[in-house]
Amino acid sequence: MGSVEGGCCPPMDLFRSEPMQLVQIIIPIESAHLTVSYLGELGLLQFKDLNAEKSPFQRTYAAQIKRCGEMARKLRFFREQMTKAGFTPSATPLTQAKIDLDGLEIKLGELEAELIEINGNSDKLQRAYNELVEYKLVLHKAGEFFHLAHNDATAQQREIEASHGDESSITSPLLDQEMSIDPSKQVKLGFVSGLVPREKSMAFERILFRATRGNVFLKQAVVSEPVTDPVSGEKVDKNVFVVFYSGERAKNKILKICDAFGANRYPFADDLGTQAQTVTEVSGRLSELKTTIDVGLVQRDNLLKTISNQFEQWNLLVRKEKSTYHTLNMFSVDVTKKCLVAEGWCPLFATTQLQDVLQRASFDSNSQVGAILQVLHTKESPPTYFRTNKFTTAFQEIVDAYGVAKYQEANPGLYTVVTFPFLFAVMFGDWGHGICLLLATLFFIVKEKKLSSQKLGDITEMTFGGRYVILMMSLFSIYTGLIYNEFFSVPFELFGPSAYACRDLSCKDSTTIGLIKVRRTYPFGVDPEWHGSRSELPFLNSLKMKMSILLGVAQMNLGIVLSFCNAKFFSNSVNVWFQFIPQLIFLNSLFGYLSVLIIVKWVTGSKADLYHVMIYMFLSPTDDLGENQLFDGQKTLQIVLLLLALVAVPWMLLPKPFILKKQHQERHQGQSYQPLHRNEDSLEVEVHHDSHGHEEFEFSEVFVHQLIHTIEFVLGAVSNTASYLRLWALSLAHSELSSVFYEKVLLLAWGYNNVIILIIGIIVFVCATVGVLLVMETLSAFLHALRLHWVEFQNKFYEGDGYKFYPFSFALLGDEEE
């Protein structure tokens, strides 16, 4: 298991996942907890759940997990309280004396009880306070009513008295006299006062009116500021009301309605003396309560402050404990009940570290017996583990997003580090845009330390995670931009003079026949003279299309070579002879040949039509090529290549299933005759073989699988090559867009000779460049590069059916629960 040797390459970082081993650890029960927590610190062991059939409640440490859950709940409660009170848990955990779980549990319980009590008290006090505030409002407003009413009444009285003096007045009502004179007939009116929420006040009034058939008098006054409702504790706009009624029945009805509307009632004295007395009483109690509440708040704040100092530490401890017990629950208990048996995957390089940790744990826990570590042999496929650093992680994630590599299979992530940004840059070639991208990503890289500790938004987070991918992308874009000779679509003569010049001094035919090549080819990149010329597009189209094919064929060949590395590594000679070689032949006899033709055509300057050559290579291979001949013996070569491609198809399809069948039969016979001689070596050998050996061998299934695989490859060779043309399309789109923005916005604005128009033009240009070219084009080029890697490159060799190594580690705990 896990032999590093073999394969075509010496061990290389990131090329193959770490060799893993399945280990069994037997831990004495008294040191189990410490051992597991030390292993969590180490974080290089992925435990297997040995109790998968047991429910969470049946497991050994269910009670402890419950305790931890309870403590976590308390901590969450503290966090809530702290955020409410505006405290943030101090980021730097105080390194206090180690607290054990039991101590912490008691402490948390005490703190919680204290906090709840304080909160309860302060809630009660607050409620009383709010009630008093409301009461005071009622006293104030209702006092105003009564005062006004009283004034009115006396004014009326006076008027009446005055009118009495003036008997001759005919207009004075007759009844007035009687009413004012006969006090015994006055009805004794009761009243209820209180506060009602403003939005309900209309309905309240209506219902009151209906319920009492209009025999009430309601007076409301708006309270200008929102009042804190004692029951809900929320700020609500309210009205003070006074309802006058007569009779006990009306009173009951009114009280019920008040309750239904959430209108708080407050007693109000009739006469002015008592009123004044109540007002002073209420004010006194208010200030008293205020101080009490303040004292309570200070007390609570102090408590929360002490909690916040240690909160992070406690939180971490509880989380660690919880995960430790979760892990312990995965262990099976030995029959003697004195040991726990753990199984897990760990990378081969970690064996000594693991042993050290086990030793340290058994020493620290004063255990008489040390833990025993032994390596198990298994047929199971180990998890895939790449040791990535901050630079390679993002690239590996690009690959993992498609599928996690099979254990020890060649990792496309290795080449992705370069080819992904390169293909991106082919589509995004503009060194001005490249520099913008570079500056943006340098900002992230310089602020890396600061940004990695804080929480970012979704999109920023993603950009930040891929900062090194973007760095590579921008560097390659600058390079390809120089090759395309585009700086915000403007060419520069950076590498010497243009190779083209006018035919004669008058330059008459430069717009009809064109320039003439007078010097050596422009040494680096596209000649600046092409820019803006009428033949620019035909030239660039032809160049970029051919470049896409050449790059695509090169990358697909790399993919096929990697499949060879895989076959060699897993010592699968069948795949070498009946998959790798025919695939290589097939692809190169068609598209490799096309690439050669392209290059030959460029080098010789021949006018041959390559479409014609390729099409008639299939339709009539024996025909004379005529003017399309590029070199001698081309016809013979084409026939040979065509035959090779035709042979390669059945070569891919037929032999492999039959050979697999034969191999299976041989192995099967061997097994049936000597089942007792299987020792560990033979087991190990078997692991390296295909997994077909263990199951029933279904020939038809294998054959169909191979058929699909062959068809996929043959059709894929054509469609994948065509798919690389997206490099041409996107690069064309990018350069056209940027030249449109430059010419139609910036130059147009410049032409007006007006500062304001120029400024507007610059603003529009910058917005368009940033929004369309730097953001949207980056995204689209990114996605297309992603597709070219996932589909066109990886389908040549990558299985991607592994599963990720997920070690038990305290360091990973934080991200997962937040």
Partner 1 sequence: MGFLFTTLIFIAVGVLASLLVRICCNKGPSANLFHLTLVITATVCCWMMWAIVYLAQMNPLIVPILSEE
Q: Does 388 bind partner 1 (CB under 8 A)?
A: no
Tell me which of 533, 628, 663, 671 binds partner 1, using CB under 8 A. 533
Q: Identify which of residues 602 and 806 has a Cβ nearer to partner 1 in the complex.
A: 602
Q: Which stretch binds partner 1 (CB under 8 A): 189-197, 233-241, 244-252, 476-484?
A: 476-484
The full DSSP string for 332-366 is EEPTTSSEEEEEEEEEGGGHHHHHHHHHHHHHHTT
How many residues bind partner 1, per CB under 8 A?
Answer: 59
Residue 418 makes contact with partner 1 by CB under 8 A = yes
Q: Among 188, 449, 607, 677, indicate the residue that binds partner 1 (CB under 8 A).
A: 607
- What is the C-alpha to C-alpha distance for residues 331 and 693, in angstroms, rounded to an integer? 31
Instruction: Tell me whether residue 459 is exposed, middle or buried, using C-beta atoms within 10 angstroms of its C-beta: 0 to 12, 13 to 18, 19 or more.
Output: exposed
Q: Does 508 bind partner 1 (CB under 8 A)?
A: no
DSSP 36-91: HHHHHHHT--EE--TTTTS-TTTSTTHHHHHHHHHHHHHHHHHHHHHHHHT----S
Sites for partner 1 among residues 419-438 (CB under 8 A)? 419, 422, 426
Identity of the residue, 172 or 533, whose beta carbon is nearer to partner 1 in the bound complex: 533
Give the H/E segment covering residue 774.
Answer: none
List of residues 6+ apart from 171 with CB closer than 8 A: none
The full length of the chain comes to: 818
* Min separation Cβ 8 and partner 1, Å: 13
When asked if residue 547 is in the footprint of partner 1 (CB under 8 A), the reply is: yes
By CB under 8 A, residue 336 contacts partner 1: no
Q: Report d(CA 230, CA 235) in Å as an integer.
A: 9
Comparing CA positions, the residue from 465, 415, 416, 417 lying closest to residue 444 is: 465
**Which of 224, 336, 352, 521: binder of partner 1 (CB under 8 A)?**
521
> From CA 269, how far away is CA 274, in angstroms rounded?
6
Among 252, 287, 452, 542, binds partner 1 (CB under 8 A): 542
Q: What is the DSSP string of 241-273?
A: EEEEE-SHHHHHHHHHHHHHTTPEEE---SSHH
Among 520, 620, 672, 673, binds partner 1 (CB under 8 A): 520
| Helical segments of 454-578, H only | 458-465, 467-484, 536-569, 573-575
Complex with partner 1: residue 521 or 700, whichever CB lies closer: 521
List 543, 610, 642, 813, residue binding partner 1 (CB under 8 A)? 543
Contact residues for 162 (Cβ-Cβ < 8 A; gap 6+): none
Residue from 56, 267, 523, 814 touching partner 1 (CB under 8 A): that is 523
Check if the beta carbon of residue 349 is closer than 8 Å to that of residue 18: yes
Q: 3-state DSSP call for residue 741?
A: helix
Does position 410 interact with partner 1 (CB under 8 A)? The reply is: no
Minimum separation from the CB atom of position 418 to partner 1 (A): 4
Region of residue 700 (phi > 0: left; psi between -120 and 50: alpha; otherwise: beta): alpha
Check binding of 19 to partner 1 (CB under 8 A): no
Q: Which residues is 487 bridged to in the sheet?
A: 490
Rg of the chain taking only CA atoms, in angstroms: 43
Query: Cα separation of 233 and 229, whole Å?
Result: 5
- Phi, psi for 455 (deg, rounded to 5): -85, 130
Residue 611 binds partner 1 (CB under 8 A): no
Task: State yes or no: residue 500 binds partner 1 (CB under 8 A).
Answer: yes
Task: Please tell me whether residue 240 binds partner 1 under the rule CB under 8 A.
Answer: no
Q: CB-wise, 44 or 482, nearer to partner 1?
A: 482
- Asked if 534 is part of the footprint of partner 1 (rule: CB under 8 A), the reply reads yes
- Tell me which of 129, 135, 311, 530 binds partner 1, using CB under 8 A: 530
Stretch of 142-150, 372-380, 516-524, 586-594 contacting partner 1, by CB under 8 A: 516-524
Q: Which of 535, 573, 669, 674 binds partner 1 (CB under 8 A)?
A: 535
Identify residues 172-211 at the interface with partner 1 (CB under 8 A): none
Please pick, from the candidates 32, 398, 414, 746, the single residue that binds partner 1 as defined by CB under 8 A: 414
Q: Please give the Cα distance from 400 to 379 (Å, whole number).
A: 24
Which member of 321, 343, 409, 529 binds partner 1 (CB under 8 A)?
529
The residue (of 363 and 539) whose beta carbon lies closer to partner 1 is 539
Closest CA to 497 of 477, 472, 524, 471: 524
Q: Measured from the CB of residue 498, what is the shortest distance to partner 1 in angstroms?
A: 9
Tell the residue number behind the tokens 């000594």, with chain if given: 352
Instruction: Verify binding: residue 814, partner 1, rule CB under 8 A.
Output: no
Which one, 453 or 521, has the nearer CB to partner 1?
A: 521
Residue 63 is which amino acid? Answer: A
* Under rule CB under 8 A, residue 704 binds partner 1: no
Contact call for residue 522 and partner 1 (CB under 8 A): yes
Locate tokens 């054959």: which residue? Answer: 703
Q: Is 467 in contact with 444 (CB distance < 8 Å)?
A: yes
Q: Which residues bind partner 1 (CB under 8 A)?
A: 9-15, 414-415, 417-419, 422, 426, 476, 479-480, 483, 496, 499-500, 510-517, 520-527, 529-530, 532-536, 538-539, 542-543, 546-547, 550-551, 554, 599, 602-605, 607
